[in-house]
Each structure stands twice: as C-alpha cells, then as structure tokens.
Chains A and B, each alone.
Chain A
Amino acid sequence: MNAPIIDPLQGDFPEVIEEYLEHGVIKCVAFNHRGSLLAAGCADGGCVIFDFETRGIAKELRENDCAAAITSVSWSKYGHRLLVSAADKSLTLWDVSTGEKIARTTLQQTPLHARLNPGLSSPSLCLACPLSSAPMIVDFEIGCTTLLPVSVPEMPDVLAPQQRSKCAESGPPFSPAAACFNKCGDLVYVGNAKGEILIVDYKSVRVLALVPVTGGSAVKNIVFSRNGQYLLTNSHDRTIRIYENLLPGKNVLSSLEELGKNVDGLDGVEKMKTVGSKCLTLFREFQDLVTKMHWKAPCFSGDGEWVVGGSACKGEHKIYIWDRAGHLVKILEGPKEALIDLAWHPVHPVIVSVSLTGLVYIWAKDYTENWSAFAPDFKELEENEEYVEREDEFDLIPETGKVKVSSVNEDEEVDIETVEKDAFSDSDMSVEELRYLPAEPIPDTNEEEQDELKLIEARISASPASEEAGQNGHVADHTSSPLGEEMGETRGKRKRKPSEKAMELQAEKAKSSKASGRTVREKSRASGDQEIDGSVNGVDDDDDDAYF
C-alpha cells in the first residue's frame, strides 16, 4: 500500500547508530515475524519485550524463581509464544499476550541456543543446543527430550543411535554442535564438530543426508534465511559459508525419501553424502583475510540479500555486511565494547546489536532530507547546473483570460476499499498473527503533572528550543521562533534548506555519533519512568545549544 509512495527499502543496509535501548543487562535479542516487537533476555533472568515502533517497553516476562541469565530467546512463527532458555538449564515457554508461563523444563545442561519449531502456529516443540552435548528436541506437551544424532557411523547399515527417554540421560560425550530447523520445521540441520551438516528427520531420529563442509572444521552456527532458500554456517576456521537449499519448500520429507531411493548401490555414509549433495550446494564463502577474525552471531537480512556477521574479538564492536554475491559492502563500527548478539530486522534495513555492557544498539540508515517531498515542484540538484532560458521566456505576453482547464477525467471509477495483499507476508495467514501488544498507558501521578508543567514553563521562558529537537536537523531552524507570535517572519526560513552551517553540524554529529559511546539522538528508554523526562529534556536542550 505504501510501496508506490515510499522508495523500496530492500537492498539497503544500515549505516549509523540511531539510538540504544536499555533495560538492565541484556544478553540476547530476537525480532518477531514482522519486526514490530523485539524480545530481549536479561542477565537477571527476566525477559522484556520492546515495542519496536515506539522503542518503549511493551511487556515484561519475569519468573520469580528464575534468576539466571537468559541465553537465548525465540519467537513462535505468529508471535504468540516465546521460548526462553536460561543459564540454570531451564527452558521456559511463555504466552506473549497474557504474559503467563505455559511450560517449563529443566535439562541436563545449560542450553545455549533454543528455537521453537517454525512450522507450527502454536508450537510446543523446540530444538535446544546445549553447551557440550548433542542438540535435542524438547517436546513440552509430552514432556520428553530426544537427543539428535550428531554423526553418521561408518558402518553401512546401522542407523544413527536413537535415544528416547523421559529425562535425557547423559550419553556418550558428544562434542558441541549447532542445529536449526528448516523453514517448515520438519527437518533439523545439524552442524557437527567434524565439519559436516547432517539433515535429520527428528520424528524418526534418522539422518537422511550428509553434506561435508569444506575444510572440515567444527561448525559453530548454522542459520537459515527467512525464505528458507539459503543456509549459512559459521565454522571454526573463521569462514562463513552460504549454501543454497535445493530442496523444495513443502513436502521436504517425501522429496528426501525419493532421493534416497534413487541412489542405487550405495549405502551408509556414501549414500548420505550423495543425497546430501542434492540438498545443499556451496554458494559463497566469506572470511576476513586480513584480520582472520572469528565470527559471532552471523545471520541473513530479512530478504536474504545481505549477510551480516559480528566480529568475535573482544574490545571491538564491528559488524560486517556482505551482499550475497560475496562482496563486503560495509563495516559498521560501534563503541568499544564486545558484541554478543546480532539481529537484522525482518522488514526494514535496521540491525540490532547487543554489546557486552548490556545495551542494545539500533543501527539504521543515515537519513538525508528529501527536499522534493516538501515541495513537489522542487527539484534537488547534486551540483550547480547552467540554465539556458528559452528565447521567449521573459517576454511579456498579455494574459488572455486563461481558464484553468481541468484535464482530469472525474468520471472514472474510484475504488476506496480494496487493499492489496501485504507484500511482506510469507505463507498463508490463516492464523491471526500477534503483531502488537496493546498499549497500557501509565497513569500520571500528581507530582509528575507538576514537574511537567514546571519544565514547560522553564523551557518557554528560558530558551525557545523545542524538546526532542534531535530528530532531524531542520527542526533546529524552527526553534528560533518563539511560540507562534512571530510565525510570519520565520515562515520564509522554514521553506528553505537549512543553512550550510547547520548541515555541516549535522554531518559532524552523525559522524561523531558512530564512534562515541553515547549517541546524540538518544532517547533513553528506561521502563516508563516519568522522572527520566526531566533528564532527557535537559540533555536535548544541551544539544540544541550546540546548534547555535
């Protein structure tokens, strides 16, 4: 609906830190399907859901008996449920709209990574990857945990070991492995320490295919793109590899079975490898040849066009962005704090990165004002153009009573009701998606009212600067007009571009905000504390002064 008006956002990537979110010490983040809500797990065991549009807190999920740091958060497909894994070996499933706990289990080991099945609308099935054990499927309804195979044994006709038990027994020591669901949630792709990707049918606990990763070093992360067409692996040899998924979107299991049957004369590992070669092909490899750094939390952009990876070096906050063809397009540098988690917004070119200090930085495109939007007949020029006037341009011609002829055919049918299908919805929307949590306004108390009024009076009398002026450069121009009496004089000013000086200052501020720890355009988001208003406004006033 807004596609014809706003420029297409696909193919863009963020450039600067726009603001940061703060709520205790945040450890991990996850966007919901649409990117309207951001779930963040904290070090104190609570989980907070931010409304990403207002950048405020929408809900807090907290369990009194869980005080261990959260290791991962994962949304269900339509956003109704949230899975939280914590350092006290527990997995908790929350109902987002009510804020109530649905289920909770404790595992043998701390799950580093837990993901809800993306294929079901109300999943109670999840994949958990513990620190030093095989990835397992945890079913909350039945209450059982199934360990997944991490390697294919060399003997041809023995299936991978099956272990199904009410409580997972600590089997033979498996080396850590990474795993993820495919897009429809009926297969699990496991990356093991030997550098192989195993495609596992978790219902029958069978390895269906095997894809060896070049180089054979342990796979640390394995992630699918949102449309399920590309798979990304992050290996111990500091390389990120992109694979193209050759399997069809639906009925994957039957396709795999077909492939398995068609392979004649091969058994065991060889058979797996042949089937595997028909499932994934290596597309690209990314590495930083100069610094040879390890990567942390690599993932795809929402449309799969870009790959982003964070540098795992302590003491620096660098985010590398590649396009899918393999070219490094941007390195984002943040304040000098280690990066621990990264997420790309599903829809907008916005990246969210979590630093070791527990702050969530929001990276967005640097906006240059589009002046043509303000005046339709105003054309922006990149540089001076020589204008050659027509021969008769300045001739004086007597006005012959011109009547404005309306060239509009007003009799055409106009449709004011039909709406186009949402471009961003993939898959059928038979289930109602939870996009927003209803806003609960926090009631004013008497003191806050008084504070607000005093602030406003002080501001009006002291400086004409308007609060929250940090939004865009030319609001600063408006601040020179006192409240409305002298609107006539400043009217002309508003229609022009801001002066060069203002543009320079703005550019400087944008540059410095990248490097410095504190951003200029911040709005600190403590959980709805009204008192913060005072300090935020105070800060912004200082910034305004800098403009003059």
Chain B
Amino acid sequence: MAEEAAYIPYVHCQTLNSHGHALSSVKFSSDGRLLASASGDQTIRTYAINLKGDRIAEPAQVFTGHDSGISDVAFSTDARFIASASDDKTLKLWDVETGSLIKTLHGHTNYVFCVNFNPQSNMIASGSFDETVRIWDVTTGKCLKVLPAHSDPVTAVDFNRDGSLIVSSSYDGLCRIWDSGTGHCVKTLMDDENPPVSFVRFSPNGKFILVGTLDNTLRLWNISSAKYIKTYTGHANSQYSVSSAFSVTNGKRIVSGSEDNCVYMWELNSRKLLQKLEGHTEPVMSVACHPTENLIASGSLDKSIRIWAQEN
C-alpha cells in the first residue's frame, strides 16, 4: 500500500445493504446531494447524502418497475430525474422526488447496458448488447438517432462537458467518438492489440478519455492525438465491466473497482498506486466520486455499497 507524503488515506465509513442482489452501478448526483444505486434485484435505490450526520447515506427512495436486472443508472443534471438501463431491453425514466415511473423508452433489441444524460439533460444516450447506441429525447421519449456504433455489445456511453460529443466503448476493442447533434462518427480510438473495452468516460474538460480494458489495465487517452498517455495497472479486471472515475476534489486521482474485491486509487500524473480500499467480499463493480467532497462510493457483487471518506 503506497503512501505519499501528506496523503490522507480514505477509510470505510458506512456499508449499505439495501439491495437483494449484486450491485451494478453507483452514481452521485451532480449537486452531491444524492447517491443512486442499480442492482440485479430489478430495483434502483437513492440515498440522501448528509455529511454532517452519523450515517452519511440515508436511504431515500426505491424505484421498482423493471422486469429484469438493471445494469446502469444516471442522474439528470438537475437531479430531478434518473434513467435506468435494464436487461428487459428498456430504459426507464423516473421522478427522483416521488419515486414514480415517468416514461419507458423502447427500441433496443437486446439488454441495455449503459445510460447517461447529456449536460443539458434534454437527451439520453444508451448503449446495448444489440451493438447500437441510441440517443433519446427526454421530453417525448422518442429515439432521435440510432448509431451503428460497434460490432459487439456496447459497454459504456458518456457525454463530454458541453454535450456535443458522445464516447462509446465496446467488447470489440474500440472506443468511438460521435457528434451528438448529427450522429456522425468523428473518431475511432484503438490500439494494436484491442482487448475488449469494458468502460470509458470523458475527463472533466473533455479532452481525454479514461478507458478500462479487460486486460487488467486502465489507460488515459488523448483524444486529439489518438494515443494513450497514461497507463494504470495493479488491479484485476478481466471479466466484468468494472467502472472507474476521476477524483478531483483533493488532488487528481483515478479511482477504480477491481475483481480482487478492492477499490484502487492511483495518482493521475505519476500513476503511482496510492491506496487499496479493502472491505468488499466480492468484485467491486462500480465506483463513484462525490463532486465536491472527498467521498467515494463503491458497489459490489456482494450486494453492498460501501462509503469511504478521508479521515480528518
């Protein structure tokens, strides 16, 4: 366990055991007030984040309605709505306050694997096992575009900070960047060997993408030069779509889940492994970093969510 001078380690604060099945995704809302979790038990749950209280995360709402396990969940920018992607081939749009279902988006022909809102929250992008990325209109629920994105299941979709670009990754080893307005492919990023890509997201300024591949590696790619500039290793990722995140609240870091039941944290620039958060008893599928506080949430196949904070 590497320690930097003046590095304050994260410690385990809370465990949430509300779900009845494995966790697939955890996300913080952009104002940091809520945490959402999606699970194979066909429900999504939200928790209110209260940093001053005893328990940081208090269960708030349960969203039921999907007929199959859920793979991903996303908050709209104003945290009024959440969208969920499920194995029942649909996406559902829910009202966060009331927990009620607003809309169901039909169109995908296979499991929907990933979902994200654009920053303006008037469009939703979703990736599916049917190898396409779909862009939906939030107001009407209509599918605006079908992008013929990949030749294998699409594992992640993300919008950049002004919503003009979408990045998608797939088991076919490619990451593709699309213009969200026209639906045209702008760039394809691939390496000589193309291991299946399990996760991708934009950096906060939209110039880089963090790519997780099933050869136990995380890479930071520069989009314009189409080359990777940083590599992070040490964790285990060869089977599941493990998500990773940027942590920018206290120094620039990369946080990722791992199949060896730990959460890994590296320094972004030096690529040094800073800490391994242990506690889960099964592979950690998803991690999320709070937008303003030094808080990390991790969801695992052991059905629990753990909250980690920096001790002060």
Chain A positions within 8 Å of B, measured between CB atoms, are: 1-2, 4-6, 36, 51, 53-58, 348, 367, 369-370, 373-376, 404, 408, 410-419, 435-436, 438-444, 449, 452-453, 456, 460, 466-469, 471-472, 474-475, 478, 483-484, 487, 491, 494-495, 523, 528, 530, 533
Instruction: Determine if A373 and B185 form an interchain contact, defined as CB atoms under 8 angstroms apart.
Output: yes
Instruction: Determine if A435 and B268 form an interchain contact, defined as CB atoms under 8 angstroms apart.
Output: no
CA gap between A494 and B132 in the complex, in Å: 12
Report B167-204 CB contacts with A as 1/0, cut-off 8 Å: 00000000011011111111111101000000000011
CA gap between A36 and B182 in the complex, in Å: 14
Given contacts A53-B180, A416-B207, A472-B184, 12 further A-B pairs with CB under 8 A are: A1-B206, A5-B177, A410-B271, A414-B208, A414-B268, A416-B246, A417-B252, A441-B81, A467-B107, A475-B146, A484-B130, A495-B151
Please judge, given known A-B contacts A53-B122, A376-B189, A404-B192, whether A1 and B138 are in contact too, CB under 8 Å: no
Instruction: Determine if B183 and A472 form an interchain contact, defined as CB atoms under 8 angstroms apart.
Output: yes
Instruction: Determine if A419 and B141 form an interchain contact, defined as CB atoms under 8 angstroms apart.
Output: no
User: Separation in Å of the A451 CB from the closest CB of chain B?
Assistant: 10
Chain B positions within 8 Å of A, measured between CB atoms, are: 76, 78, 80-81, 93, 101-104, 106-107, 109-110, 120-123, 129-132, 137-146, 148, 151-152, 160-162, 164-165, 176-177, 179-190, 192, 203-208, 220, 223-224, 226-231, 246, 248, 252, 268-271
Instruction: Determine if A51 and B231 form an interchain contact, defined as CB atoms under 8 angstroms apart.
Output: no
CB-defined contacts of A56 to chain B, threshold 8 Å: 137, 139-140, 142
User: Separation in Å of the A3 CB from the closest CB of chain B?
Assistant: 9
Instruction: Determine if A442 and B165 form an interchain contact, defined as CB atoms under 8 angstroms apart.
Output: no
Please judge, given known A-B contacts A1-B161, A53-B181, whether A419 and B130 are in contact too, CB under 8 Å: no
Say whether chain B's binding surface is mostly helix, strand, loop, or mixed.
loop
Instruction: Determine if B248 and A416 form an interchain contact, defined as CB atoms under 8 angstroms apart.
Output: yes
Instruction: Determine if A416 and B204 form an interchain contact, defined as CB atoms under 8 angstroms apart.
Output: yes
CA gap between A466 and B145 in the complex, in Å: 11
Please judge, given known A-B contacts A416-B204, A416-B205, A494-B151, whether A57 and B248 are in contact too, CB under 8 Å: no
Q: Which of A4, A53, A442 interacts with B140 by CB under 8 Å?
A: A442
Closest to A348 in B: B181
Please judge, given known A-B contacts A414-B230, A478-B148, whether A51 and B122 are in contact too, CB under 8 Å: yes
CA gap between A373 and B186 in the complex, in Å: 5
Please judge, given known A-B contacts A417-B205, A466-B146, A528-B139, whether A438 and B186 are in contact too, CB under 8 Å: no
Instruction: Determine if B188 and A53 form an interchain contact, defined as CB atoms under 8 angstroms apart.
Output: no
CB-defined contacts of B268 to chain A, threshold 8 Å: 414, 416
User: Separation in Å of the B149 CB from the closest CB of chain A?
Assistant: 10
CB-defined contacts of A367 to chain B, threshold 8 Å: 182, 184
CB-defined contacts of A444 to chain B, threshold 8 Å: 101-104, 141
CA gap between A296 and B158 in the complex, in Å: 43
Closest to B180 in A: A53
CA gap between A495 and B150 in the complex, in Å: 9
CB-defined contacts of A460 to chain B, threshold 8 Å: 109
Instruction: Determine if B246 and A442 form an interchain contact, defined as CB atoms under 8 angstroms apart.
Output: no
Q: Which of A51, A374, A414, A467 interacts with B269 by CB under 8 Å?
A: A414
Instruction: Determine if A453 and B207 form an interchain contact, defined as CB atoms under 8 angstroms apart.
Output: no
Instruction: Determine if A53 and B123 form an interchain contact, defined as CB atoms under 8 angstroms apart.
Output: yes
User: Separation in Å of the A327 CB from the closest CB of chain B?
Assistant: 28
User: Separation in Å of the A135 CB from the closest CB of chain B?
Assistant: 37
CA gap between A536 and B176 in the complex, in Å: 29
